[in-house]
Structure 1
Amino acid sequence: MATVRDRYSEEEVQGFYASGFWQSGTLFDLVAAQADARPGKVFVTDGTSSLTYQELHDRALQLALGFKHLGLRRGDRVTVQLPNWTEFVLTTVALERLGVIAVPIMPIYRADEVGYILGHAGAKAAITCEEFRGFRYLDMYASLRKENPELQSLIVVRGSNPVGSDAATRLTDLIIKEPLEDIARRLGPPPSPDDPFMIVYTSGTTSRPKGCLHTFNTLRASAAAIAKSLGYQESDVQFGPSPITHGTGLVTSFALPLLAGASSHLMEKWEALEGLHRIREHGCTVAVTATAFLQMLTDAYDTDRHDLRDLRLWVCAGAPIPGSIVQRARDLLPGCRVLSLYGRTENFLTTLCTVDDAPEKSIHSDGSAVEGAVISIVDELGREVPRGTEGDIAYRGPSHMLGYFRDPEATAALFTPDGFSRSGDLGFMDDDGYVRVTGRIKDIVIRGGLNISARELEDLLVEHRAVGSVAVVGMPDERLGEKVCAYVVPAHGQPAPALEDLTSYLRRRKVATPKLPERLELVEQLPLSATGKVLKHVLRDDIARKLT
């Protein structure tokens, strides 16, 4: 497994510590410090449960011992697939105290994606819920367990029925009620903040997701940079509808408020009207989401019924912010500023507009590099291109992962000769250092901030008996940014498939609902280049014309 010094030179490590971008405390150390400073303050709520800083500290310690009794040891990997519940925070802190590597999985993923991650990560245990939004996760894991012999333990959160030890263990049964001093001694020394802490899988920029191996310090560096850029205070209350099991929610709904001694409210299921109610009820002041969330919120906002006077910042990530959305937010929420952010799982935060930037910067750019990081726009050979020239957006700084888990070749391919990590996203930098994302080299569809691999869907669809050949592209959508459109050449001798035929087939293949095609275009042939590659830009232009 990669180490800090596999990724960073001794000079870089010492520099990050000297500058304060990295620190000597672990995640559990941070929780302990906040529990000492503000024990009774509520840190996280989810509409059903809550944890004060002291409760989080004590229960995490007790749970860490329960995990140890279960057989988990330092360096083991444990998947955590939960909705935006307080238990995700609790389990992550407990696992980190034991030195176990958490592997978060978004709740929308089903057997195909979950099975791959379980196997690739070599998960020794899995933590999930019994049921959520009509889907029985426990049943899925019981089936996947048969295919993953390394998966020794299944832990269920908020289970309604008793489960046997041969099936699953309740999370609550793992909380050991012993004196905290005795527990701390039995757990042994804590890990280093530079040890492997978490593997966050990309949301689909290739045919299979890659596991980004992070330390607590690489996560902390992004959260600290956001806190400074937003003028974040302990009086802030974070609104968290973004999945806490992935980059945006993980950094901004968990690490960011924890660093500041602030509070966080998690929303398990996004719905705009309910979101308006939650923001008001909990006094939320800051939100970081995909742009689509803000658009849906402003569409549902009624000045006669809703009051968001506490909301001061809404940061949009995942796609450029249309000027019309910014203007509508200004009109409806005069006390709230809209800022832009661009990041990726490999280094979380890449660029950000700060509270000190001119408001127009969030309309015309995705921000600039934060303190301690350097951004370069490079060509195919990794050479920096002139300002204003489109190229690959590359990052170097304290938030970069140690590498792709179990994929050293892909890790090595990321870097330019100067040590910048290429994103595969296209953009340009202006004379003031602000970056605008213009497109992507990687073949993905971004639906409401979720990256959907076109290749993954194509590989499945081409196996359908009615599909001769297929190309998947993104089609523009006012609310979500993009939706999935499939161009299909029907198989010879077979009736042309209908959209419902293909979506039903993909559901049977355990593809998550947000990834399903929402439009089908039947064609006699796909446009090809001289080398036989599908000309997807022709298809994107075609569907865009049809939708205008």
Structure 2
Amino acid sequence: MAFATVLDRYTQRDIDGFYRDGLWDRLTMFGELEKQNRIRPEKVFISDSTKTFTFAEVHEIAVRLAAGLHRQGIGAGDSVAVQIPSWAEFAAISMAINRLGAIIVPVQPIYRTGEVSHILRTAEVKAVFTVEEYRKFNHVEMFLAQRGESETLETVITVRAEKPHAGALSYDELLVPGPLANLEAEIGSGLGPDDAFAIVFSSGTTSKAKGCLHSFNTLACSARIQGEEYNYSDADVQFGPSPVTHTTGLVTSLILPLIFGAATHIMERWDPEEGLRAIEKYKCTGTINASTFLQTVLGAFDPLRHDASSMRFWTLAGAPIPAPLVEAAREAFPQMKIISLYGRTENVTTTMCHIDDDPLRAVTSDGKALRGQEVRIIDFEGHEVPLGEEGDIAYNGSMHLFEYIGMPEEERAMFTEDGFSRSGDLGRMDEDGYVRVTGRLKDIVIRGGMNISVREVEDLLAGHPGVDQVAVVAMPDPTMGERACCYLTLQDEGNRLSLEEIKGYLLDKGLAIQKVPERLEILDEMPSTPTGKIQKNVLRERIAERLLASAEK
């Protein structure tokens, strides 16, 4: 399969403008690493709970890994998957793949045979880095079994393997000894920053994950502009609890600190107590992730035991941000700016607030278009709607994917005639250009012909003192077409909430009776992606199946 190129998405005039405006740069990811290795080789670049690597160490390991991959037949344009936890080795592995001009295919560790098979087939993966066993699941055996069925997968490499595994190479075996200059010459030249760099698969909150093909520039552009918004510098230390094998972690825990010469600390498994200890130990200054992470940190934070005073900003992205959460964070961490951001795998960052914005902006909006980017609110025909009216949030700019791999019809349907991509997310824009995400097109509950925005209901319920997490979805109904079903997790499992209590609370808040959920489901835990997005597709399917089973009895 021939993947799309930069000229399939952008005109030469567009490209020239992106370079002129400093949105794109001539360096590849490996080129950025070489730059930092020249400037600050002994500075620690990346750490996890057990390992640290300096810029010089990452550079050396990346060259040796690239040479090993080269000897395994991996070259420019080949796809290499990486399914490991958030371990510090991810940096050198990614740099090595990029040094060859190969394409990085990050795979989230929770994915199993069904998702992995789809990714291997879609991205035409030729080699994979994985773990032997992690969280009681044998990943290497899964990939070896997949190799027997795949038309492209040839090489399976294990990271942090305790012993050799038949049929697989180890990470250490792949490190080629010898002078780096000789290995560089053996590898030859790679590709450029506008060539295919990564295929990142969407989280799959609504359907089968889509493979989004990006160049280094389309991803790094987000890091460059976010850095400007944060007043970022080499003095910063990024805190990275989101998986590095997805867009948020890849861009903000690896690319952002890399291009600014900063440091980064990543976590393989989220635990708020451990997170607070890491922030204090490494003097972390900023982070970008879903609201779930901040919410659990606030639950664990004790000012007598924890010191988070180094944190300058905490950007909330990937899931709706309840206003009470922002207000609680401002109380607990007064020195830290709470910033809202809205993005998606297809174009990385759509809107965000500036670090110097009025703090209320994070409560009332999800930010505005970044420098050099355009955002519109459009109707179903692609026409811009008047300010303040709800519509589909559409983006155009220098961070667009090149293509949905193998899904041309979905890709065509996403774009308007004038180059804006429909997000499928609903929002409103104010007179200052700030956008508020109000829900998803599929989040609308159409009850007897009335459109109910679930975001309105969720925001109100998020303020209930007994509610931890909330998700409202449509459930099928033979009379009304759809009704609203409310899923909750509770702050105190011993203090159960009833549907009548929820109804009374919402009505007291002024919600119209037609918008009040008509079914309540209490969960121990919400189904969510590793990046913290609640999987509403799972909840919709769950309630539909339950209703069908009840009807058949």
For Structure 1 versus Structure 2, the TM-score category normalised by the shorter chain is 0.7 to 0.9
Tell me the distance in 1 between the aligned counterparts of 2:535 and 2:413: 32
1:28 aligns with 2:26: no
Does 2:435 correspond to 1:423?
no
CA distance in 2, matches of 1:132, 1:325: 33
Q: CA deviation at 1:409?
A: 2.2
- Residue in structure 1 matched with residue 464 of structure 2 by the alignment: none
- Equivalent residue in structure 2 for 1:62, among 55, 61, 64: 64
1:91 alignment partner in structure 2: 93
The DSSP-based 3-state class of the residue aligned with 1:51 is strand
Over 3 Å counting, the alpha-carbon distance change for 1:153 and 1:410 in structure 2 is same
Matching residue's letter, 1:475: Y
Residues of 2 paired with 1:346 and 1:146: CA distance? 32
> What's the CA shift for 1:475?
2.5
| Aligned pairs (5 A) from 1:96-175 | 96-164=98-166, 167-175=167-175
Please state how far the C-alpha of 1:155 moved relative to its aligned partner: 0.6
* Closer, same or farther: CA 401–95 of 1 in aligned 2, 3 Å: same
Kept after mapping to 1: 8 A contact 2:130/2:139: yes
Identity %: 45
1:193 paired to 2:193: yes
Residue 272, structure 1, aligned to residue 272, structure 2: yes
Partner of residue 14, structure 1: 16
Structure 1 residue 140: Cα displacement: 1.8
- The whole-number CA distance in structure 2 between the counterparts of 1:313 and 1:419 is 33
In structure 2, what is the equivalent of residue 231 of structure 1? 231
Select between 237-246 and 137-146 the one with higher mean Cα deviation.
Answer: 137-146
Q: Is the 8 A contact 2:206 2:537 kept in 1?
A: no
**Aligned partners of 1:330, 1:345: CA distance in 2, in Å?**
29
Q: 2 CA distance for matches of 1:314 and 1:408? A: 37
How far is the alpha carbon of 1:146 from its aligned partner? 2.2
Alignment correspondent of 2:547: 523
Where does 1:364-403 land on structure 2 (aligned, <5 Å)? Answer: 364-403=364-403
Helix, strand or coil for the counterpart of 1:90? helix
Query: What amino acid maps onto 1:108 in structure 2?
Result: I
Comparing 378-387 and 323-332, the one that deviates more: 323-332
Does residue 76 (structure 1) correspond to residue 78 (structure 2)? The answer is: yes
Residue 304 (structure 1) shift: 1.3
| Paired residue type of 1:326 | V
- 1:207-222 mapped onto 2 (5 Å cutoff): 207-222=207-222
CA separation in 1, counterparts of 2:61 and 2:485?
Answer: 46
> Secondary structure at the residue paired with 2:343?
strand
Residue 475 of structure 1 corresponds to 487
CA distance in 2, matches of 1:517, 1:319: 15
**Given that residues 291 and 319 in structure 2 are in contact (C-alpha distance below 8 angstroms), is that contact kept between their aligned partners in structure 1?**
yes
Alignment match, 2:43: 41
Deviation at 1:161, TM superposition (A): 1.3
Q: Secondary structure at the match of 2:342?
A: strand
Gap change, CA 1:515 and 1:155, over 3 Å in 2: farther
* CA offset digits 1:38-82 (Å, max 9, x no partner): 000000001111110111111111110100001112111111111
Contact (CA 8 Å) 1:108, 1:513: kept in 2 or not? Answer: no
CA displacement at 1:410 relative to structure 2: 1.9
Tell me how far 1:205 sits from its aligned partner.
4.4
In 2, the alpha carbon distance for the partners of 1:380 and 1:526 equals 36
Structure 2 matches for 1:314-393, cutoff 5 A?
314-393=314-393
Deviations 1:175-234 (A, max 9, x none): 111211111111111211110000001111443111000000101100001100111111
Q: Which amino acid is 2:225 matched to? A: A
Shift of the alpha carbon at 1:442? 4.3
What SS does the aligned partner of 1:278 have?
helix
Match of 1:184 in 2: 184
The one-letter code sitting in structure 1 at the alignment partner of 2:335 is G
After superposition, give the CA deviation of every residue in 1:265-323 in whole Å (9 maximum; x if it has no partner). 00100011111111111111101110011010001111111111111111100123222
Shift of 1:387: 0.7
Q: Which residue of 2 aligns with 1:409?
A: 409
**CA separation in 2, counterparts of 1:159 and 1:383?**
54
Change (3 A) 1:478 1:10: farther
After TM superposition, what 4+ stretches of structure 1 lie above 3 angstroms from structure 2? 442-447, 470-474, 476-479, 512-527
Q: Is the 8 A contact 1:290 1:317 kept in 2?
A: yes
Q: Does the 8 Å contact 2:46/2:54 carry over to 1?
A: yes
Q: Secondary structure at the match of 1:183?
A: helix
Query: What SS class does the counterpart of residue 134 from structure 2 fall into?
Result: coil
Alpha-carbon distance change, 119 to 280 in structure 1, aligned in 2, over 3 angstroms: same
Shift in Å, 1:145: 2.1
Contact in 2 for aligned 1:376/1:393 (Cα 8 Å): yes
TM-aligned CA distance change 1:170 to 1:222, over 3 Å:
same
8 Å CA contact retained: 1:206, 1:443: no
2:297 partner SS: helix
Judge conservation of contact 2:205–2:535 (CA < 8 Å) in 1. Answer: no
Partner Cα distance (1:216, 1:377) in 2: 28
Contact 2:404 2:411 in 1 (8 A): yes
Q: CA offsets, 1:216-270, max 9 Å, x none? A: 0101100001100111111111110001111111111011111110000001000
Which residue does 1:496 correspond to in 2?
Answer: none
TM-superposition CA deviations, 1:314-369 (whole Å, max 9, x none)? 11001232221112112211111111000000011111111121100000000001
The aligned counterpart of 1:537 is: none
Distance 1:329 1:403, change over 3 A: same
Q: Report the 3-state secondary structure (helix = DSSP H, G, I; strand = E; otherwise coil) of the residue aligned with 2:413.
A: helix
1: distance between equivalents of 2:161 and 2:43? 28
Q: Distance in 1 between the 2:403 and 2:231 partners?
A: 31
SS at match of 1:32: helix
Q: Is the 8 A contact 2:206 2:536 kept in 1?
A: no
Select between 295-304 and 329-338 the one with higher mean Cα deviation. 329-338
Cα distance in 1 between the residues matched to 2:536 and 2:149: 25
5 Å-filtered alignment, 1:527-538, equals none
3-state SS of the aligned residue for 1:392? strand
> Any unmatched runs of 5+ in structure 2?
445-453, 459-468, 477-481, 492-520, 526-533
Q: Which runs of 5+ in 1 are unaligned?
A: 459-469, 480-498, 504-511, 528-548
Cα distance in 2 for partners of 1:134, 1:5 equals 45
Q: 1:31 to 1:474 in 2, by over 3 A?
A: farther
| Whole-angstrom distance in 2 between the partners of 1:133 and 1:310 | 32
Please state how far the C-alpha of 1:131 moved relative to its aligned partner. 1.7
Shift of 1:520: 5.8
Asked whether the 8 Å contact 1:320–1:340 carries over to 2, the reply is no
Counterpart of 2:388, as a letter, is: G
Change (3 A) 1:356 1:393: same
State the alpha-carbon separation in 2 of the partners of residues 229 and 353 from structure 1. 8
TM-score for both structures, normalised by structure 2: 0.82
Q: Distance in 1 between matches of 2:543 and 2:361?
A: 37
Which residues of 2 match residues 440-451 of structure 1 at below 5 A? 440-442=440-442
RMSD: 2.9
In structure 1, distance between residues paired with 2:80 and 2:394: 31
Aligned length: 479
Change (3 A) 1:418 1:108: same
1:116-146 superposed Cα distances (whole Å, 9 cap, x missing partner): 1111111111111112222221122222222
SS in 1 for 2:294: helix
